[in-house]
Amino acid sequence: MGLFHTATDKEILAARKKIIVEVGIPALVRQGFERAPFSTTWFGYYPGLHAYCYELARLKEGGILETVTIDVIGGEGWIQIRANALRLHPPPASVEALKGQDGLQFQLPPNNRNEMRLRIDDRPGLPLFHMFARKHKLGSYWTRKAFEREVERLSRLIEQDMNAIDGYFDRWHALHQPMDVDQMGHPTLKT
């Protein structure tokens, strides 16, 4: 056993997946999110992509569908979390009313043009000034213990951000207007 530790891609992917499954998704469920009801919802491991993808949604007042997409891709240290909101016409009674719809339409342009990546796109000012801000990424480490500390740090950050998801959506609404779409995800004019 050497002095230095280099985690394998498999270890890094497993650690980030564990953070999302044990910390991130339960925190979002407590905030009113549920697995997106679409027929094409991604929720789990996809070997062709070597990634874990999760799509969650909730319905707010006025027919606003808020979505959170989480991607944990192999070969990198990031956990990518994206937020978006769409205004559905006519407003459904619940998220379950969208069950069976093709969710891909909700994620294709122009519906995804206002998608915001948490801790990246929501920061005001020049990106240069955010270089040292906390990110949803495993930092550097040299030992096994330091790797475990980085995983714990990322886990706390994900839990903190998922518990405060309403604040991210408040910022989203301050920067963007929700696209008006029908219940199949096609852009529509508000009536």
User: Has residue 130 got a pLDDT over 60?
Assistant: no
pLDDT at 105: 80
In three-state secondary structure terms, 35 is strand
Q: Where are the domains of the chain?
A: 9-95+102-181
pLDDT at 131: 57
Give strand pairing partners of 181. 88, 187
The string of DSSP codes covering 134-145 is --SB----SSHH
pTM for the model: 0.89
pLDDT at 82: 94
- Greatest CA span in the chain, whole angstroms? 68
Q: Are 136 and 157 in contact (CB under 8 A)?
A: yes
Q: What are the C-alpha distances in Å from 42 to residues 22, 57, 68, 115?
A: 18, 12, 12, 17
